[in-house]
Amino acid sequence: MDATLPEIAELVLDALPREPVILGGYSFGARVALHAALTAPARVRTLVVLGATRGIADEHDRSLRRARDEALAAHIDEVGTEVFLSEWLALPLFATLGAHRESDTRSSDAQGLAQSLRLAGTGTQEWLRDRLATLEVPTLAMAGGLDAKFVVEARAIAKDVRHGTFAVITGAGHAAHLEQPELVARAIDNFLD
């Protein structure tokens, strides 16, 4: 999308029913869900995020990430989405994904994907820790047990929000919902109960 994370969160909120909803998201979608809940907490009854990040605390590190995202966006513009997504899914982050690496849902819009990195990549995201401390929405923060970076983030998100719960999905990496769908569903069901 040709929009920033806060703008995308507003678009999501505009598309949702007016009554409070259970809002969830995975990875980029989890970052959008966090922003939506922070923007309009009264519209979110419960928040469920998988593979989310609070952003990057240090401004210098955020700047470096923006530069890396810009280089990645230029690479996408150069090689197209098919090559880029094959390279992306070969990263260690997705090593445990297995058969789910091939998908018919891959975007073919190289320009859109590159622009998404430029406008809504992790380097553009504000550091959310302080804002999360004000969030009163019951929140389930999950991560695949093999996804060490995001286990740390999920645990921190659950600690940062007032009513946070942390769940680790054993035997799964970053795409835990694809690798261990039953365990993810059980964690969500248990939380909602």
Same domain, 97 and 17: no
Query: Who contacts 28 (Cβ-Cβ below 8 Å, separation ≥6)?
Result: 116, 120
Range from 71-80, 99-108, 120-129, 183-192 carrying the lowest mean pLDDT = 99-108
Helical (H) or strand (E) element with 1: none
Same domain, 12 and 40: yes
Per-residue pLDDT of 111-125, as tens digits, reads 888 999 999 999 999
Helix axes 5-15, 28-39, angle to 10 degrees: 70
CATH number for 173: 3.40.50.1820
Confidence at residue 104, expressed as pLDDT on a 0 to 100 scale: 47
Say how many domains are in the chain: 2
Amino acid in the structure at residue 12: V
Same domain, 140 and 47: yes
Same domain, 132 and 89: no
Last residue of a domain, one of 67, 91, 120: 120
Calculate the CA dihedral of residues 119, 96, 167, 137 and round it to 10 degrees. Answer: 20
Phi-psi region of 55 (alpha: psi -120 to 50; beta: other; left: phi over 0): left
Q: Which residue, among 151, 171, 185, 154, has the nearest Cα to 95 in the 3D structure?
A: 171
Q: Which domain holds residue 183?
A: 5-56+126-192
pTM of the model: 0.91
Q: Which two tokens stand for residue 160?
A: 């940062």
**Rounded to an integer, what distance in angstroms lies between the CA atom of residue 157 and that of residue 178?**
22
Per-residue pLDDT of 128-163, as tens digits, reads 999 999 999 999 999 999 999 999 999 999 999 999
CB 119 within 8 Å of CB 28: no
Per-residue pLDDT of 10-66, as tens digits, reads 999 999 999 999 999 999 999 999 999 999 999 999 999 999 999 999 999 999 999
